[in-house]
C-alpha cells in the first residue's frame, strides 16, 4: 500500500488444490472491488487506462493471471466455468465480500461465468467478449482476421497442432514492444486499433503479452480449447445486470459475437458501436463503461 491509502501489488495466492495464482491489486483499499478478466493471451499486469479509470470511479482493481499464464499454475483441461471457483478463492483470500466484474476479449466468457455462478457479483461488464462456439446461430470464425482463423483452425486439430502454432506466435510476442505487437498482429488490427496501439496503451498490451507468455503458452492453449467446447454454464442463469460493448470493425472478436451475446443474455444492456475496433472500443469508452457498471451495482 502506498502513503495515499492506495494498494498496488502483485501477490501469489495459493488455492485449495495447491495451485497458485498471480494476482494484482491496485487502487483505493476500501473501494468497491472490480474483478477484471484479462484477454487471451494476457496476465495480471498494469493496463494504465483501466487503472486510472477504475481509481476515478473509486474501484479497487483485482486481476488474476489465469492458470497457465505468467506464474500462475496450469489447470489443464479447464472449462470457462472453472474461473468461478478460482475467483471465489481469490476474493476469500483478499477478504472481499462483493464485487463487480469485467472481462475483455477472451476474458468476456470468464466474466459471464461469474455473472452466472459467482454469488458475490453485483454487475458485469463484457468488452469485445468472445461468443460461444457450439451454437447454431453464430458463425464463430466469420469476420476474424487471418491469424485468428489460423489459430482456431489449429485448435480444432488438437493440442499438439495448437501448441506448435502458439509456440510460433510466442516467439514473436514474448519479447515484443508495442511496434512489434502491431507487426505481429497485422491481420487482426483495423486502422482504428493500430491508432490505439501507441504510447502507453501499446506498451501496456506488449507488457501483458510478455508476462503471459514468459513461461509457456499453456494458458493461451487452455483458453482456446475452453472456448471451442461448452463453457460449463448457461447464460440463462444470469440474474444480475450485464452490459455488452462491441465494435463493428473488430477483427479479433467480430461484431457478430457482441450481437449474439446481446440477444442471448437476460436483461442485457447492449452498446454496439459503429466504427470501433477491439482495442479502440475499450480505450475510448472506459469511463462510460465504468459509470454504467457502478450504477448497475447500486441498483
Is residue 1 included in any domain, yes or no?
Answer: no
Q: What is the pLDDT of residues 223-253, one digit of tens each?
A: 999 999 999 999 999 999 999 999 999 999 9
Is residue 192 included in any domain, yes or no?
Answer: yes
What are 37's strand-pairing partners? Answer: 103
- Host domain of residue 137: 6-298
Res. 5: pLDDT tops 80? no
Kindly state the average pLDDT of the residues 121-131.
98
Kindly state the average pLDDT of the residues 114-121.
98
Is residue 205 included in any domain, yes or no?
Answer: yes
The model's confidence at residue 184, banded by pLDDT at 50, 70 and 90, is confident
Alpha-carbon distance 76 to 98, whole Å?
29
CA nearest to 130, candidates 289, 276, 254: 254
Q: What is the pLDDT of residues 15-72, one digit of tens each?
A: 999 999 999 999 999 999 999 999 999 999 999 999 999 999 999 999 999 999 999 9
CATH of the domain at 271: 3.40.50.1820
Q: What is the pLDDT of residues 153-162, one digit of tens each?
A: 999 999 999 9
CB under 8 Å to 93, separation ≥6 — which residues? 13, 23
Count: domains in the chain? 1
Is residue 106 included in any domain, yes or no?
Answer: yes
Q: How would you class 232 by CB atoms within 10 Å of its CB: exposed for 0-12, middle for 13-18, buried for 19 or more?
A: middle
State in Å, rounded, how far the first CA of the chain is from the last one: 31
What interhelical angle do 199-212 and 48-56 show, nearest 10? 110
pTM, two decimal places? 0.96
Res. 2: pLDDT tops 60? no
Q: Give the alpha-carbon dihedral of 288, 294, 296, 299, to 10 degrees.
A: -140
Amino acid at each position: 500500500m502506498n502513503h495515499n491509502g492506495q494498494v498496488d501489488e502483485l501477490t501469489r495466492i495459493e488455492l485449495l488444490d495447491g495451485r497458485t495464482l498471480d494476482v494484482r491489486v491496485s487502487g483505493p483499499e476500501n473501494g468497491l472491488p472490480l474483478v477484471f478478466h484479462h484477454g487471451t493471451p494476457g496476465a495480471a499486469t498494469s493496463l494504465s487506462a483501466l487503472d486510472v479509470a477504475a481509481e476515478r470511479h473509486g474501484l479497487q482493481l483485482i486481476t488474476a493471471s489465469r492458470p497457465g499464464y505468467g506464474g500462475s499454475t496450469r489447470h489443464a483441461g479447464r472449462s470457462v466455468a472453472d474461473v468461478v471457483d478460482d475467483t471465489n478463492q481469490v476474493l476469500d483470500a483478499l477478504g472481499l465480500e462483493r464485487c463487480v466484474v469485467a472481462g475483455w476479449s477472451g476474458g468476456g466468457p470468464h466474466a459471464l461465468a461469474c455473472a452466472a455462478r459467482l454469488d458475490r457479483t453485483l454487475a458485469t461488464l463484457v468488452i469485445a467478449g468472445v461468443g460461444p462456439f457450439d451454437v447454431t446461430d453464430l458463425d464463430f470464425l466469420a469476420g476474424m482476421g487471418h491469424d485468428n482463423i489460423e489459430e482456431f483452425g489449429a485448435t480444432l486439430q488438437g493440442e499438439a497442432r495448437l501448441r506448435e502454432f502458439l509456440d510460433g506466435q510466442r516467439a514473436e510476442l514474448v519479447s515484443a514492444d508495442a511496434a512489434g505487437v502491431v507487426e505481429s498482429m497485422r491481420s487482426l488490427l483495423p486502422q482504428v486499433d493500430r491508432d490505439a496501439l501507441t504510447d502507453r496503451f501499446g506498451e501496456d498490451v506488449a507488457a501483458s503479452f510478455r508476462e503471459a507468455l514468459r513461461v509457456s503458452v499453456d494458458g493461451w492453449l487452455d483458453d482456446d480449447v475452453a472456448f471451442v467446447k461448452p463453457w460449463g454454464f448457461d447464460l440463462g442463469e444470469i440474474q444480475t445486470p450485464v452490459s455488452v460493448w462491441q465494435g463493428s470493425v473488430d477483427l479479433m472478436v467480430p461484431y457478430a459475437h457482441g450481437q449474439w451475446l446481446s440477444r442471448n443474455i437476460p436483461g442485457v444492456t447492449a452498446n454496439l458501436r459503429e466504427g470501433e475496433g477491439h482495442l479502440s472500443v475499450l480505450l475510448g469508452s472506459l469511463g462510460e463503461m465504468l459509470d454504467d457498471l457502478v450504477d448497475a451495482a447500486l441498483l
